[in-house]
Structure 1
Amino acid sequence: MTYTIKEVSEITGLSIYTLRFYDKKGLLPFVARNDSGYREFTEGDLNLIHTICCLKDTGMKIDKIREYIDDVMQGTSSINHRVFLLNEHKKAVLDEMDRIQQNLAEIDYKLNMYESPDATKKVSEELAYAINEKQVNQLANPYPANK
């Protein structure tokens, strides 16, 4: 079974413009064209597009995705390089997840403070500390409601 670019757009959620952009950037060399020049996608093509979306969604740059797809097009001779690329990307994704986890912990800390029964007291103490720190360092007080 084959799919048109419109059907692939509907299946993947990617716009036709994005699919054409990916094609121009060399990410879809596996997609065949029919006698009329229209792209015809197969299930295997959809699987590779899914991988491209996964890599893109996790922050891999277009040139690295193209490098991965070039490896795919080479067949089994490029397996080791694919492993290298994916391990490198996995490390970057894990590092980003750690950074996001740390930021989430800060958000949770603030939410817990603001939702606590003594939120007003805690916020007032935090503000007083910040204002005092400015005064000790002879800096202007940037908190207009507390001058």
Structure 2
Amino acid sequence: MTISEVSKKYDISTDTLRYYERIGLLPPVPRTKSGLRDYDENSCKSVEFIKCMRNAGLPIEALIEYMTLFKEGDSTAEARMAILIEQREALISRIEEMQSTLSRLDKKIEMYKGMCSPGCCGNK
């Protein structure tokens, strides 16, 4: 796949894909004879994993460390698992904070519904 096809498929800009490759987050992508990036199945799996982890809020630094360990092989499995566990705990904390914020917003909305006349502000 070309870089533009991968960009569209995973909704990541071509600049971001190049950046991920430049900083070593994304392993070097195979190239055509003319030097154009030609994303293979493994490259796409890496992009998909990186996107998933970034969507979960993992910092670039943690991902770089994880991918560096991944390249070193099975002997780093325990260290990789530790990174994932640490990031999972951070994600759970963020989810709890977001749930609390959502609950507070819901209470505020209900309060305003009680203050507004019918038909106002979406109040039925």
Q: What band does the TM-score fall into relative to the shorter chain?
A: 0.7 to 0.9
Q: Distance in 2 between matches of 1:19 and 1:25?
A: 10
Q: Distance in 2 between matches of 1:104 and 1:42?
A: 41
The CA RMSD over aligned residues, in Å, is 1.5
Structure 1: 5+ residue stretches without partners: 121-147
Partner of 2:12: helix, strand, or coil? coil
Structure 2 residue 62 is the aligned partner of structure 1 residue 64: yes
Q: Distance in 1 between matches of 2:76 and 2:44?
A: 21
- 1:94: which partner in 2? 92
- 1:47: which partner in 2? 45
Q: Post-superposition shift, 1:88?
A: 0.3
- 2:35: which partner in 1? 37
Matched residue type, 1:64:
A
Q: Distance in 1 between matches of 2:33 and 2:64?
A: 26
Matched residue type, 1:51:
F
Matched residue type, 1:81:
A
Q: Post-superposition shift, 1:24?
A: 1.3
Quick check: 2:29–2:43 contact (8 Å CA) kept in 1? yes
Quick check: 2:27–2:43 contact (8 Å CA) kept in 1? no
Structure 2 residue corresponding to 1:12, chosen from 10, 13, 20: 10
Which structure has the greater CA radius of gyration? 1
Matched residue type, 2:43:
D
Q: Post-superposition shift, 1:36?
A: 3.2
Q: TM-score, normalised by structure 2?
A: 0.85
- Corresponding residue pairs, total: 116
Q: TM-score, normalised by structure 1?
A: 0.73
Q: Distance in 1 between matches of 2:27 and 2:35?
A: 14
Structure 2: 5+ residue stretches without partners: 117-124
Quick check: 2:58–2:87 contact (8 Å CA) kept in 1? yes
Deviates more, 1:64-73 or 1:24-33: 24-33
Runs of 4 or more consecutive aligned structure 1 residues displaced over 4 Å after TM superposition: none
- 1:104: which partner in 2? 102
